[in-house]
A and B are shown apart, each in its own frame.
Chain A
């Protein structure tokens, strides 16, 4: 098959290796290192050549000719999850651990089919609070539990 899984992957990784090879030329070298056998660019350049060569081998001689079957994939849900994870990263500091994590878990449970709001709250909040207590009291790892404007004293 012309557009087999191996070939598509090969092309994607070829693009990655070409970009890597291009960026490797941006690595700064000191003047006296021009004639040294090994410098900061050596390994990246060797790897770029190896990567490009192997990608071409995969494209030209694919191991299997199995095509890409995209039926049954729930892409919208995965994209929402990726956005949710990214948003969690952005909110964990401003909202604090307990609120951001509880929201993350509740939205996650809801996305996967849990409709009852009491269940969402009963599973997420106690778990997050218990985890926070274990981390802060048991393991001495400090995590800001709530938004800073709520915890600031005086």
Chain B
């Protein structure tokens, strides 16, 4: 391992590669910050440049763009509540309320420290545990993956709370439905294409995310213009970000959250299919549950824990998702799928032999993750006040720009004008559902996992001779499904217990 680190250091610390890490972090932060252009489009845009570089330099550049874009995405989530990426949706739950309270500087600083810690800790895990984790995830079968995806979907719906759980589950199902549009992977028959050739490849993930988050967010601002009081508040926030200092109490509050979320994020990132989005939601939900009833109520209103958890977890998961990519050749997320395509373009086949055949590529990527995170922190902390000035842009200029970046971000991936029309349709649906208070995040997650879920279920049935018995016969699958069931029941049980406790305490009080 020491030899590997030395190989990695000697490659990653060359002047040229350091320059690429810096450039990647800056470009990634900038692109990720613009609502509509997330890591996927950022990396896709980088492929032509990376292709002209040698493999390690190209991969280092793309990895840096990846981290930068995730960090940039959280910045737009916090400042204008328009997540550029699905993995920073959870960041906006508490980051945006903090910014609205005039603590945008603090929220951005917390996000920066959490991202840095999550990335660095996860890179350490990656270094120590990559071979071990690769063998563990090798033992996972289709049935386990299917169960894991059920758990991911149910857990997100469960976090919505008792009253909204049915709505969240319904939206998850809608997301799964949307994922079935296009050509069926096994038979090659078109499904729900309505005879349109543009739908043969299905709906693009980027398109759906942009339409439901960035577009609908900007259109909602047009639909319900802010009152003078709100506008004044926003202007104040941009003029005065508030202190960027994080107090001792807040550090104490964040430290265990960072530890837990790094581990959780990394482990989830390692599992193929379960990427930074699930990690951020799970970390958010876990912290909300661990916070207890009193602190838990602060979630969604500007909680430090609620902001730190998803920010740590999404960066840790981004690092974790490199494990299946580098050791098994399986992308752990949409972004690493694009990187896999780039690696294959270089003539590098990621997999167990990458260690042996191209150690410089393998180790330099790992080492550059540390360097990338350090550079991100050094670059972004002093830049935060300038980045935050985006709030000072009048909404009459900002809103059409958000619409433009969202539309063009999707158009640049496909160069198909049909995608713009489809975005308009999804934006209309998203606006209506937002007005009716239906959550969007479960739908996105359902959409991301839909294809993989169907594929794993089909494979599981094929292996088991068309028998569904694998659901209860394989202990690991059964355990994961039981956990999913518990997640579903837990809010009802805890509400019952709370009601029972209250009912029990009331007669005692009356007796006093």
Contact = CB atoms under 8 A, between A and B. Distances in A.
Contacts of A64: 163, 437
Size bracket of the A interface: 35 or more
Interface string B398-424: 011101100110011000011111011
Interface in A1-30: 5-6, 8-10, 12-13, 16-17, 20, 23-24, 27-30
Interface stretch (B94-102, B301-309, B342-350, B454-462): B454-462
B180 to A, nearest CB: 5
Interface of B: 45-46, 48-49, 162-167, 169-170, 173-174, 176-177, 180, 184, 186-187, 189, 191-192, 194, 215, 219, 222-225, 395-397, 399-401, 403-404, 407-408, 411-412, 417-421, 423-424, 427-428, 431-433, 435-438, 454, 457-458, 461-462, 466-468
Main secondary structure of the interface of A (DSSP, over half): helix
A127 B466 CA distance: 58
A149 interface: no
Given A13-B174, A141-B48, A85 B407 contact: yes
Contact of A43 (B224, B431, B457, B462): B457
B422 to A, nearest CB: 9
Contacts of A12: 432, 436
3 residue pairs, one from A and one from B, having the closest CB atoms:
A108-B400, A89-B420, A63-B163
5 contacts: A37-B461, A78-B219, A108-B400, A109-B400, A139-B46
B400 A104 contact: yes
Main secondary structure of the interface of B (DSSP, over half): helix
B88 to A, nearest CB: 23
Nearest to B433: A9
B401 A140 contact: no
A72 B432 CA distance: 15
A53 to B, nearest CB: 9
Given A47-B180, A58-B166, A108 B403 contact: yes
A105 interface: yes
Contacts of B401: 105, 127
A43 B180 contact: yes
Contact of B404 (A58, A105, A141): A105
